[in-house]
Amino acid sequence: GRTTPFLPATPIRVTPDGRADVVAEDLMAPNGMALPPDERTLYLSECGRSQILAFDVGADGTLSNRRVFAGLP
């Protein structure tokens, strides 16, 4: 079979006033994001590295403290 390589991607946040900001870099095939009800942590599935990342979400919507939340087999 033929495999398609994962390509790097850059998620972008668009503010209500239309400004677009890069929120994370060096992601391989990000696919799906989730926020819990308190909206303090963003979870992002990174398929290209078989892991789920977590980011702290600031009051202004910026992301910080990138970390691996879970590795996937």
Give the model confidence (pLDDT) of 27-67 as tens digits.
Answer: 998 888 999 999 999 999 998 899 999 999 999 888 999 99
Tokens 């979870």 found at: 43
Q: Give me the pLDDT at residue 60, please.
A: 87
DSSP-derived pairing of the beta strands 8-9 and 20-22 = unpaired
pTM recorded for the entire structure: 0.83
In which band, very low, low, confident or very high, does the pLDDT at 2 lie, cut at 50, 70 and 90? low
> Going by C-beta distance under 8 Å and a sequence separation of 6 or more, which residues neighbour residue 15?
21, 61
DSSP 13-70: EE-TTS-EEE---SEESEEEEE--TT--EEEEEEGGGTEEEEEEE-TTS-EEEEEEEE
